[in-house]
Amino acid sequence: MTDKANTTDKVNKAKAMPLNARGIPASRLVLGCMPFGGEWDHSPLTEERVKLSEAAVEAALSIGINMFDHADIYTRGKSEEAFGRILKSGSGLREQIVLQSKCGIGLEDEELPSRFDFSRDHILASVDGSLKRLGTDYLDVLLLHRPDPLMEPEEIAEAFARLKASGKVRHFGVSNMNVSQIRFIERALSDRLVVNQLEMGLGRLDFVEETVRVNQTRGADVHFSEGLMEFSRTEQIQLQAWGPLAQGKFTGRDVSGEPEPVRKTAEMVRRMADEHGTTPEAVVLGWLMKHPALIQPVIGTMNPERIKACADAEVQAARMSRDDWYRLYMTARGD
Protein backbone atom coordinates (compact mmCIF):
# COMPACT_ATOMS: atom_id res chain seq x y z
CA MET A 1 0.00 0.00 0.00
CA THR A 2 1.29 3.48 -0.85
CA ASP A 3 1.77 6.22 1.77
CA LYS A 4 -1.13 8.10 0.17
CA ALA A 5 -3.48 5.14 0.46
CA ASN A 6 -2.35 4.67 4.05
CA THR A 7 -3.19 8.27 4.92
CA THR A 8 -6.59 8.08 3.23
CA ASP A 9 -7.33 4.89 5.09
CA LYS A 10 -6.42 6.51 8.40
CA VAL A 11 -8.62 9.54 7.72
CA ASN A 12 -11.56 7.32 6.72
CA LYS A 13 -11.06 5.18 9.79
CA ALA A 14 -10.96 8.28 11.96
CA LYS A 15 -14.31 9.30 10.48
CA ALA A 16 -15.91 5.90 10.99
CA MET A 17 -18.35 5.42 13.83
CA PRO A 18 -16.44 3.80 16.74
CA LEU A 19 -18.28 0.46 16.43
CA ASN A 20 -17.49 0.31 12.71
CA ALA A 21 -13.87 1.27 13.36
CA ARG A 22 -13.69 -1.76 15.67
CA GLY A 23 -15.01 -3.99 12.88
CA ILE A 24 -18.58 -4.28 14.21
CA PRO A 25 -20.84 -3.73 11.16
CA ALA A 26 -23.60 -1.81 12.94
CA SER A 27 -25.94 0.62 11.20
CA ARG A 28 -25.95 4.23 12.37
CA LEU A 29 -29.54 3.96 13.65
CA VAL A 30 -30.49 1.33 16.20
CA LEU A 31 -34.02 0.07 16.87
CA GLY A 32 -34.80 0.04 20.60
CA CYS A 33 -36.94 -2.98 21.39
CA MET A 34 -38.07 -2.01 24.90
CA PRO A 35 -41.82 -1.93 24.14
CA PHE A 36 -41.93 -5.13 22.06
CA GLY A 37 -43.43 -7.27 24.85
CA GLY A 38 -46.26 -4.89 25.74
CA GLU A 39 -47.10 -4.55 29.44
CA TRP A 40 -44.47 -4.69 32.20
CA ASP A 41 -46.62 -7.03 34.28
CA HIS A 42 -46.46 -10.80 34.65
CA SER A 43 -48.95 -11.46 31.82
CA PRO A 44 -47.66 -13.72 29.01
CA LEU A 45 -46.51 -12.51 25.60
CA THR A 46 -49.39 -12.28 23.13
CA GLU A 47 -49.49 -13.11 19.42
CA GLU A 48 -50.62 -9.54 18.77
CA ARG A 49 -47.38 -8.16 20.32
CA VAL A 50 -45.29 -10.57 18.24
CA LYS A 51 -47.03 -9.33 15.06
CA LEU A 52 -46.52 -5.66 16.02
CA SER A 53 -42.86 -6.35 16.81
CA GLU A 54 -42.43 -8.13 13.50
CA ALA A 55 -43.82 -5.12 11.62
CA ALA A 56 -41.39 -2.84 13.49
CA VAL A 57 -38.42 -5.06 12.67
CA GLU A 58 -39.46 -5.25 9.00
CA ALA A 59 -39.73 -1.46 8.81
CA ALA A 60 -36.32 -1.09 10.46
CA LEU A 61 -34.66 -3.56 8.08
CA SER A 62 -36.28 -1.80 5.12
CA ILE A 63 -34.43 1.44 5.95
CA GLY A 64 -31.10 -0.28 6.59
CA ILE A 65 -31.22 -0.63 10.37
CA ASN A 66 -29.36 -3.80 11.36
CA MET A 67 -28.73 -3.17 15.08
CA PHE A 68 -31.33 -3.95 17.76
CA ASP A 69 -31.21 -2.95 21.43
CA HIS A 70 -32.67 -5.03 24.25
CA ALA A 71 -32.39 -5.54 28.00
CA ASP A 72 -33.18 -8.59 30.08
CA ILE A 73 -35.76 -6.58 32.06
CA TYR A 74 -37.69 -5.02 29.16
CA THR A 75 -41.34 -5.95 29.77
CA ARG A 76 -39.95 -8.61 32.15
CA GLY A 77 -38.30 -10.61 29.36
CA LYS A 78 -41.22 -10.54 26.94
CA SER A 79 -39.51 -8.10 24.55
CA GLU A 80 -36.58 -10.49 24.07
CA GLU A 81 -39.04 -13.36 23.76
CA ALA A 82 -40.93 -11.54 20.97
CA PHE A 83 -37.65 -10.86 19.17
CA GLY A 84 -36.71 -14.54 19.57
CA ARG A 85 -39.91 -15.49 17.77
CA ILE A 86 -39.00 -13.15 14.88
CA LEU A 87 -35.48 -14.57 14.66
CA LYS A 88 -36.88 -18.08 14.55
CA SER A 89 -39.13 -17.26 11.61
CA GLY A 90 -36.70 -15.11 9.59
CA SER A 91 -34.25 -17.36 7.77
CA GLY A 92 -30.66 -16.26 8.33
CA LEU A 93 -31.71 -13.02 10.04
CA ARG A 94 -29.54 -13.59 13.11
CA GLU A 95 -26.33 -13.50 11.08
CA GLN A 96 -27.37 -10.25 9.35
CA ILE A 97 -27.94 -8.22 12.50
CA VAL A 98 -26.02 -6.80 15.44
CA LEU A 99 -27.83 -7.84 18.62
CA GLN A 100 -27.30 -5.95 21.86
CA SER A 101 -28.79 -6.59 25.30
CA LYS A 102 -28.21 -5.32 28.84
CA CYS A 103 -28.06 -6.72 32.33
CA GLY A 104 -27.56 -5.48 35.86
CA ILE A 105 -31.01 -4.27 36.95
CA GLY A 106 -33.33 -6.31 39.13
CA LEU A 107 -37.01 -5.33 39.06
CA GLU A 108 -39.00 -5.11 42.26
CA ASP A 109 -40.88 -8.29 42.95
CA GLU A 110 -42.87 -9.83 45.77
CA GLU A 111 -39.79 -10.59 47.85
CA LEU A 112 -37.13 -8.42 46.28
CA PRO A 113 -36.57 -4.65 46.14
CA SER A 114 -35.58 -2.78 42.95
CA ARG A 115 -31.83 -3.17 42.73
CA PHE A 116 -28.69 -3.07 40.60
CA ASP A 117 -26.59 -6.21 40.45
CA PHE A 118 -23.18 -6.46 38.79
CA SER A 119 -22.25 -9.62 40.67
CA ARG A 120 -20.58 -12.32 38.58
CA ASP A 121 -23.42 -14.78 39.07
CA HIS A 122 -26.12 -12.26 38.18
CA ILE A 123 -24.35 -11.23 34.97
CA LEU A 124 -23.83 -14.86 33.90
CA ALA A 125 -27.40 -15.90 34.70
CA SER A 126 -28.83 -12.82 33.01
CA VAL A 127 -27.00 -13.53 29.74
CA ASP A 128 -28.16 -17.16 29.78
CA GLY A 129 -31.73 -15.89 30.20
CA SER A 130 -31.40 -13.41 27.34
CA LEU A 131 -29.89 -16.00 25.00
CA LYS A 132 -32.67 -18.45 25.79
CA ARG A 133 -35.43 -15.90 25.19
CA LEU A 134 -33.80 -14.57 22.04
CA GLY A 135 -33.15 -18.09 20.78
CA THR A 136 -29.56 -17.37 19.83
CA ASP A 137 -26.10 -18.61 20.89
CA TYR A 138 -24.49 -15.19 21.20
CA LEU A 139 -24.95 -11.50 21.81
CA ASP A 140 -22.87 -9.14 19.74
CA VAL A 141 -22.80 -6.58 22.54
CA LEU A 142 -23.69 -6.80 26.24
CA LEU A 143 -24.14 -3.57 28.25
CA LEU A 144 -24.15 -3.08 32.02
CA HIS A 145 -27.44 -1.20 32.33
CA ARG A 146 -26.96 1.29 35.20
CA PRO A 147 -24.11 1.70 37.68
CA ASP A 148 -24.26 -0.61 40.72
CA PRO A 149 -22.75 1.06 43.80
CA LEU A 150 -21.70 -2.39 45.07
CA MET A 151 -19.77 -3.26 41.88
CA GLU A 152 -16.35 -4.92 41.99
CA PRO A 153 -14.46 -4.58 38.68
CA GLU A 154 -12.68 -7.91 39.20
CA GLU A 155 -16.02 -9.70 39.51
CA ILE A 156 -17.31 -8.03 36.35
CA ALA A 157 -14.06 -8.94 34.60
CA GLU A 158 -14.44 -12.60 35.59
CA ALA A 159 -18.00 -12.70 34.26
CA PHE A 160 -16.97 -10.98 31.01
CA ALA A 161 -13.98 -13.32 30.54
CA ARG A 162 -16.22 -16.39 30.91
CA LEU A 163 -18.84 -14.98 28.53
CA LYS A 164 -16.18 -14.18 25.94
CA ALA A 165 -14.43 -17.54 26.28
CA SER A 166 -17.69 -19.45 25.89
CA GLY A 167 -18.61 -17.38 22.81
CA LYS A 168 -21.80 -16.13 24.46
CA VAL A 169 -20.85 -12.43 24.18
CA ARG A 170 -18.53 -10.83 21.63
CA HIS A 171 -18.19 -7.24 22.94
CA PHE A 172 -18.97 -5.40 26.17
CA GLY A 173 -20.13 -1.91 27.03
CA VAL A 174 -22.01 0.13 29.61
CA SER A 175 -25.00 2.41 29.88
CA ASN A 176 -25.64 5.59 31.89
CA MET A 177 -22.06 5.69 33.16
CA ASN A 178 -19.63 8.53 33.78
CA VAL A 179 -15.94 8.78 32.92
CA SER A 180 -14.71 7.60 36.33
CA GLN A 181 -16.96 4.54 36.33
CA ILE A 182 -15.76 3.51 32.87
CA ARG A 183 -12.11 3.89 33.91
CA PHE A 184 -12.80 2.05 37.18
CA ILE A 185 -14.33 -0.97 35.44
CA GLU A 186 -11.88 -0.99 32.53
CA ARG A 187 -8.85 -1.29 34.80
CA ALA A 188 -9.84 -4.92 35.50
CA LEU A 189 -10.86 -5.88 31.94
CA SER A 190 -8.76 -7.47 29.24
CA ASP A 191 -10.94 -5.93 26.49
CA ARG A 192 -12.00 -2.32 26.01
CA LEU A 193 -15.58 -1.25 26.65
CA VAL A 194 -17.04 -0.41 23.25
CA VAL A 195 -20.37 1.34 24.02
CA ASN A 196 -21.90 3.79 26.49
CA GLN A 197 -25.67 4.41 26.11
CA LEU A 198 -27.15 7.55 27.68
CA GLU A 199 -30.15 9.84 27.24
CA MET A 200 -29.20 12.48 24.68
CA GLY A 201 -31.13 14.51 22.11
CA LEU A 202 -33.04 17.72 21.47
CA GLY A 203 -35.26 16.76 24.42
CA ARG A 204 -32.32 16.13 26.77
CA LEU A 205 -29.58 18.66 26.12
CA ASP A 206 -27.22 17.98 29.04
CA PHE A 207 -24.66 16.31 26.77
CA VAL A 208 -24.17 19.66 24.99
CA GLU A 209 -24.65 21.83 28.08
CA GLU A 210 -21.82 19.96 29.79
CA THR A 211 -19.43 21.10 27.06
CA VAL A 212 -20.77 24.66 26.92
CA ARG A 213 -21.16 25.50 30.59
CA VAL A 214 -17.59 25.05 31.81
CA ASN A 215 -16.76 27.92 34.15
CA GLN A 216 -20.37 29.12 34.31
CA THR A 217 -22.25 29.10 37.60
CA ARG A 218 -25.26 27.56 35.83
CA GLY A 219 -23.05 24.59 35.01
CA ALA A 220 -24.21 23.19 38.36
CA ASP A 221 -27.61 22.43 36.75
CA VAL A 222 -26.10 20.08 34.18
CA HIS A 223 -26.57 16.39 34.86
CA PHE A 224 -24.03 14.77 32.60
CA SER A 225 -20.58 13.35 33.25
CA GLU A 226 -17.83 15.96 33.05
CA GLY A 227 -15.73 15.49 29.92
CA LEU A 228 -17.65 12.39 28.80
CA MET A 229 -18.16 13.54 25.21
CA GLU A 230 -14.47 14.29 24.68
CA PHE A 231 -13.35 11.18 26.61
CA SER A 232 -15.59 8.96 24.46
CA ARG A 233 -14.19 10.45 21.27
CA THR A 234 -10.60 10.08 22.42
CA GLU A 235 -11.14 6.50 23.59
CA GLN A 236 -13.26 5.49 20.58
CA ILE A 237 -16.23 4.51 22.76
CA GLN A 238 -19.47 4.38 20.79
CA LEU A 239 -22.04 6.73 22.30
CA GLN A 240 -25.63 5.58 21.86
CA ALA A 241 -28.55 7.89 22.61
CA TRP A 242 -31.73 6.63 24.19
CA GLY A 243 -34.77 8.90 23.99
CA PRO A 244 -33.51 10.43 20.71
CA LEU A 245 -37.01 11.25 19.43
CA ALA A 246 -37.90 12.90 22.76
CA GLN A 247 -40.95 10.63 22.81
CA GLY A 248 -42.39 12.54 19.85
CA LYS A 249 -42.32 15.99 21.51
CA PHE A 250 -40.89 17.68 18.40
CA THR A 251 -42.26 15.36 15.74
CA GLY A 252 -46.03 15.57 15.89
CA ARG A 253 -47.18 14.65 19.40
CA ASP A 254 -49.71 17.12 20.86
CA VAL A 255 -47.56 19.64 22.74
CA SER A 256 -50.17 22.35 23.31
CA GLY A 257 -49.73 21.97 27.08
CA GLU A 258 -45.90 21.96 26.98
CA PRO A 259 -43.62 24.93 27.81
CA GLU A 260 -42.86 27.49 25.09
CA PRO A 261 -39.40 26.15 24.13
CA VAL A 262 -40.93 22.75 23.31
CA ARG A 263 -43.70 24.30 21.19
CA LYS A 264 -41.27 26.63 19.39
CA THR A 265 -38.81 23.81 18.73
CA ALA A 266 -41.57 21.59 17.35
CA GLU A 267 -42.58 24.44 15.01
CA MET A 268 -38.99 25.01 13.91
CA VAL A 269 -38.46 21.28 13.27
CA ARG A 270 -41.61 21.18 11.13
CA ARG A 271 -40.49 24.25 9.14
CA MET A 272 -37.02 22.84 8.52
CA ALA A 273 -38.49 19.48 7.49
CA ASP A 274 -40.77 21.24 4.96
CA GLU A 275 -37.91 23.40 3.62
CA HIS A 276 -35.72 20.35 3.02
CA GLY A 277 -38.45 18.02 1.83
CA THR A 278 -37.95 15.61 4.70
CA THR A 279 -39.63 14.44 7.92
CA PRO A 280 -39.53 15.99 11.41
CA GLU A 281 -38.02 12.72 12.69
CA ALA A 282 -35.09 13.06 10.27
CA VAL A 283 -34.47 16.66 11.41
CA VAL A 284 -34.52 15.77 15.12
CA LEU A 285 -32.23 12.78 14.64
CA GLY A 286 -30.06 14.68 12.15
CA TRP A 287 -29.46 17.33 14.82
CA LEU A 288 -28.17 14.66 17.21
CA MET A 289 -26.13 12.90 14.53
CA LYS A 290 -24.37 16.08 13.45
CA HIS A 291 -22.44 15.98 16.72
CA PRO A 292 -18.91 14.86 15.82
CA ALA A 293 -19.00 12.03 18.39
CA LEU A 294 -20.98 10.12 15.72
CA ILE A 295 -23.71 9.17 18.17
CA GLN A 296 -25.99 6.22 17.36
CA PRO A 297 -29.64 7.12 18.07
CA VAL A 298 -31.59 4.22 19.59
CA ILE A 299 -35.07 4.98 18.31
CA GLY A 300 -37.92 3.64 20.43
CA THR A 301 -40.95 3.92 18.15
CA MET A 302 -42.79 0.72 17.19
CA ASN A 303 -44.86 2.50 14.57
CA PRO A 304 -43.63 1.29 11.12
CA GLU A 305 -44.42 4.66 9.47
CA ARG A 306 -42.47 6.56 12.15
CA ILE A 307 -39.56 4.14 11.81
CA LYS A 308 -39.50 4.76 8.05
CA ALA A 309 -39.71 8.51 8.72
CA CYS A 310 -36.23 8.20 10.31
CA ALA A 311 -34.63 6.93 7.08
CA ASP A 312 -33.37 10.35 5.96
CA ALA A 313 -31.66 11.20 9.29
CA GLU A 314 -28.06 10.67 8.18
CA VAL A 315 -28.61 12.80 5.07
CA GLN A 316 -30.09 15.58 7.21
CA ALA A 317 -27.14 15.37 9.61
CA ALA A 318 -24.73 15.81 6.71
CA ARG A 319 -26.60 18.77 5.23
CA MET A 320 -27.51 20.59 8.46
CA SER A 321 -25.66 23.90 8.68
CA ARG A 322 -23.96 25.05 11.88
CA ASP A 323 -26.50 27.88 11.98
CA ASP A 324 -29.47 25.53 11.85
CA TRP A 325 -27.85 23.27 14.46
CA TYR A 326 -27.48 26.24 16.82
CA ARG A 327 -30.97 27.54 15.97
CA LEU A 328 -32.48 24.26 17.12
CA TYR A 329 -30.21 24.03 20.18
CA MET A 330 -30.92 27.57 21.38
CA THR A 331 -34.67 27.24 20.78
CA ALA A 332 -34.89 23.91 22.63
CA ARG A 333 -32.72 25.33 25.43
CA GLY A 334 -35.12 28.22 25.85
CA ASP A 335 -32.61 31.01 26.61
Which is nearer to ligand NAP, 55 or 161 (by Cβ)?
55
- At closest approach, how far in Å is the CB of 55 from ligand NAP? 11
The full length of the chain comes to: 335
Answer for which of 301, 311, 312, 313 binds ligand NAP (CB under 6 A) is 301
Answer for which of 16, 21, 34, 161 binds ligand NAP (CB under 6 A) is 34
- Which alpha helices (DSSP H) does the chain contain, by range? 3-15, 18-21, 47-62, 78-89, 93-96, 120-134, 153-165, 179-186, 206-212, 228-234, 260-275, 280-289, 304-308, 313-319, 322-333
Residue 243 makes contact with ligand NAP by CB under 6 A: yes
Answer for which of 208, 300, 328, 331 binds ligand NAP (CB under 6 A) is 300
Instruction: Characterize the bridge pairing of strands 139-144 and 105-106.
Output: unpaired
Residue 53 makes contact with ligand NAP by CB under 6 A: no
Catalytic (active site) residue 74: yes
Contact 266, 255 (CB under 8 A): yes
Answer for which of 251, 265, 296, 331 binds ligand NAP (CB under 6 A) is 251
What does the DSSP assignment read for 268-285?
HHHHHHHHTT--HHHHHH
Q: What is the spatial distance between Cα 314 and Cα 252, in angstroms, rounded to a whole number?
A: 20
Residue 38 makes contact with ligand NAP by CB under 6 A: no
Interface stretch with ligand NAP, choices 44-52, 122-130, 243-251, 325-333 (CB under 6 A): 243-251
Which is nearer to ligand NAP, 282 or 299 (by Cβ)?
299
Which is nearer to ligand NAP, 146 or 162 (by Cβ)?
146
Answer for which of 69, 140, 186, 324 binds ligand NAP (CB under 6 A) is 69
Q: Which residues contact 216 (CB under 8 A, 6 or more apart)?
A: none
Rule CB under 6 A: which of 126-185 touch ligand NAP?
Answer: 175-176
Helices 280-289 and 322-333 cross at an angle (nearest 10°) of: 100
Rule CB under 6 A: which of 259-298 touch ligand NAP?
Answer: 298
Active site members: 74
